Amino acid sequence: MDLSYILNELGEERQNYYNAVAPPILQTSNFACKTVADMRYMLQHEPEVHLYTRGNNPTVTILEKKVAALEGAEHAIAFGSGIAAVSAAVLSQVNAGDHIVCVRKPYTWTNALMQRFLPRFGVDVTMVDGTDTINYSNAIKPNTRLLYMESPNSYTFELQDIAAVVAVAKQNNCTTIIDNSYASPLHQNPLQFGVDLVLHSCTKYIGGHSDVMGGIVCGTREMINKIFEREFMTLGAVMSPHDAWLLIRGLRTLPVRMERIAASTRKVVSCLEQHPKVDKVYFPFSPAHPQYALAMRQMRNNSGQFTITLKTDNINQVEAFCDSLQHFLMAASWGGHESLIFPIAASYTEGALKPNLPLNLVRFYVGLEDPDYLIKDLEQALEHIKT
C-alpha cells in the first residue's frame, strides 16, 4: 500500500459526511438502533459495528486503520495513552504463574509495570541486557510466555536484534511485543521480523505537536480482537474521538516531520561528537556506535532522540549547561515540534540514592527548528562546562 494512500485516503469515507476533507469528530458515547433485530445484530458483531464509544468510535477507527496499515498489520486498537497500550498488550499475554523476559531500562512506566505491578499478580519478570540476544535465551524458564522489547530503549538507545529475539521466542513457544515508539511506524516495522504485537505511544511522533495523548497496539485480527474483548473493554483506557482526530491530523505530516527531524538530528549529533566538552554521545546511527550495523539493518532511519554525557562530574556545571539553553525546552516526552532536554540530574536530590544513570547524562530530542539555530544554542551553553 502506498504511504500517500494510507495517510490521505485509507479509512476515510468522505461520501458519508458531506465529502468533508477532514473527518468528523463523532463526539458521541452511543449509537442508536431502529429495531430489536438491529440491536441484536450490533451486540453480536462488536467490534465490527459501532455500538458504544468505549468499544469503538468511527473517528478512532480511521486512526486505527491507518496505523495498522503503516505497520503492515491486519488490525490495531487505540488507547487513551501509550502506557495503557503497553499494559493492555502485556496483560493480554500472561496469567498468574507466568514469566516474562523484558529488556532492561525500558520506558519508566513499563519498568514499573514489569518490576512493581505484575509481581503483585503472580507474574514474574526477568530484566535483561538486550544488546546480546543470548541474555534473552539464558533467561527463559519453563513458564516463560512473553519476550518484551523496546528497540532502541529509553535514555541509552540500545538496540535489540529483533529477528534474533523473535527466533528465540518461536523456539520456546513465547509471544513477542515491541514498543516501537522511538522509530515511529515509518522508520521500523517489527512485524516484518515476526514480532506478534507492535505498539506506539501516539503522544510522541504520531501526534507530533505536544498537544494530545494516545497509544495503539497493532497485530493480527485475532490477537487484537482478544485484547478488545478482555483488557480493552475491562480496563477502559479509551481514546476520545477528538484525540483520534488530532492524531489523524498528525499522521498527515508524519513523513515530512520525520525526514526533517532525522536530518537535523544527524547534524546536531555530529557537531556534539566533535565538541571537547562532550564526553559521549549515545546515538545508534553514528558509524562509531557498536550497534550501527544492526541499526542500519533493522531500521530505515534515525529519529530525533539521543543522549550525551558531559565532560564533567560536577553537577553544578551540568545544571548550568541545562539552565542556560535558550531554545531547548526542559520537559518530559518528545516527538513534538519543539526541541527538548531531559537531564538525569533532575531525578536526583542531594543525599538521596543516586539514579541508575550517570548525573552528567542529558537526553535530547531534536524537533522542527533550524538545526543551526539549535547548534548555536548548544555551543553557548557548553561554555559552562569547565574541563
Ligand X SMILES: *Cc1c(COP(=O)(O)O)cnc(C)c1O
In whole angstroms, the minimum distance from the beta carbon of 176 to ligand X comes to: 16
| 79/328 with CB nearer ligand X | 79
Q: Are 94 and 142 in contact (CB under 8 A)?
A: no
In whole angstroms, the minimum distance from the beta carbon of 165 to ligand X comes to: 17
Q: Are 243 and 62 in contact (CB under 8 A)?
A: no
CA angle 196, 199, 201 (to 5 degrees): 175
Q: Are 203 and 212 in contact (CB under 8 A)?
A: yes
| 45/116 with CB nearer ligand X | 116
Query: Running DSSP on this structure, what letter comes out for residue 121?
Result: G
In whole angstroms, the minimum distance from the beta carbon of 368 to ligand X comes to: 18
In whole angstroms, the minimum distance from the beta carbon of 233 to ligand X comes to: 20
Q: How many CB atoms lie within 10 A of CB 225?
A: 18
In whole angstroms, the minimum distance from the beta carbon of 334 to ligand X comes to: 7
| 136/157 with CB nearer ligand X | 157
In whole angstroms, the minimum distance from the beta carbon of 97 to ligand X comes to: 27
DSSP letters, 306-348, are EEEEES---HHHHHHHHHH-SSSEE-S---SSS-EEEEGGGG-
Residue nearest to ligand X (CB): 82
Q: Are 225 and 75 in contact (CB under 8 A)?
A: yes
Contacting positions for ligand X (CB under 6 A): 81-83, 86, 107, 150, 154, 179, 181, 201, 203-204, 213, 215
Cis, bond preceding 152 (omega within 30 deg of 0):
yes
| 203/312 with CB nearer ligand X | 203
| 152/371 with CB nearer ligand X | 152
| 181/291 with CB nearer ligand X | 181
First to last CA, the chain: 53
- CB-count exposure of residue 349 (10 Å: 0-12, 13-18, 19+): exposed
Q: Report the C-alpha gap between 288 and 302 in whole angstroms.
A: 15
| 207/312 with CB nearer ligand X | 207
In whole angstroms, the minimum distance from the beta carbon of 260 to ligand X comes to: 20
